[in-house]
């Protein structure tokens, strides 16, 4: 049995866009990178919201996970697509939920295999507790406190929906 609670993400998306706008005002050459799959949806929203001109890339971090020997290859890996030069760019790394921090660690490693960015800023729609690595988001849409048996599930891309799923 699972119980799901709908969550209104309009405010979270708006918060995130505003907080990013402030941080971005000083950056000359920004680019957005979304992490598959939820992060790409959020990144696409942010791109439209900020300025359609900012280039957008996508990352599938499956090849960079730290649990390959435990969970194996993800059978549905998509190619990462970075259609711009990473070198000297200000990267906005976007994910849907920041939880353990392991996905972000993998994404940072992957980005550095493409080049040397000027800076990376982490933007997440939802920050929840449970960090296992020293990673913090720079821009956050909303913070949700969840219990051990609760999970966040994002569906999209349009409409973007967020549910809190309780496994019971």
Partner 1 sequence: MNHPLQPDQAGSLKHFLTIEGLKREILVSILDTAEPMTEVTDRSIKKIPLLRGKTVVNLFFEPSTRTRTTFELAAKRLSADVLNIAVDTSATIKGESLLDMLRNLEAMHVDMFVVRHPQSGAAHFIAQHVAPHISIINAGDGRHAHPTQAMLDVFTIRRHKPDFGALRIAIIGDILHSRVARSQIHALNTLLTGEVRVIAPKTLLPVDVESLGVKVFYNLRAGLKGVDVVIMLRLQHERMQAGRLPSEHEYYHRYGLTRDRLQLAKPDALVMHPGPVNRGVEISSSVADGSQSVILEQVSHGIAIRMAVMSMALDRTRAAS
Check residue 114 for interaction with partner 1 (CB under 8 A). yes
Stretch that binds partner 1, among 3-11, 77-85, 118-126, 158-166 (CB under 8 A): 77-85
Cβ contact 34:59 at 8 Å: yes
Q: How many CB atoms lie within 10 A of CB 57?
A: 21
Closest CA to 58 of 88, 73, 38, 30: 38
Structure tokens belonging to residue 154:
């994002």
In the set 1, 26, 53, 71, which binds partner 1 (CB under 8 A)? 71
**Using rule CB under 8 A, residue 68 touches partner 1:** yes
* The binder of partner 1 chosen from 80, 91, 123, 142 (CB under 8 A): 80
Report if residue 2 touches partner 1, rule: CB under 8 A. Answer: no
* Cis amide leading into 37 (omega within 30): yes
Residues forming contacts to partner 1 in the complex (CB under 8 A) are: 60, 62-64, 68-73, 75-81, 86, 109-110, 112-115
């Amino acid at each position: 049995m699972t119980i799901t609670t709908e969550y209104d993400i309009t405010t979270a998306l708006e918060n995130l866009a505003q907080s990013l706008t402030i941080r971005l005002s000083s950056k000359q050459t920004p680019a957005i990178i979304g992490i598959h799959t939820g992060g790409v949806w959020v990144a696409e929203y942010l791109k439209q919201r900020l300025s359609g001109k900012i280039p957008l890339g996508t990352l599938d971090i499956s090849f960079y996970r730290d649990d390959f020997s435990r969970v194996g290859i993800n059978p549905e890996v998509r190619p990462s697509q970075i259609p711009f030069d990473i070198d000297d760019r200000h990267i906005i790394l976007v994910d849907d939920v920041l939880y353990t921090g392991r996905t972000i660690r993998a994404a940072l490693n992957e980005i550095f295999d493409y080049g040397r960015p000027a800076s990376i800023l982490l933007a997440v729609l939802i920050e929840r507790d449970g960090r296992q690595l020293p990673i913090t988001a720079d821009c956050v849409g909303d913070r949700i406190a969840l219990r051990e048996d609760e999970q966040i599930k994002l569906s999209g891309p349009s409409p973007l929906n967020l549910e809190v799923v309780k496994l019971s």
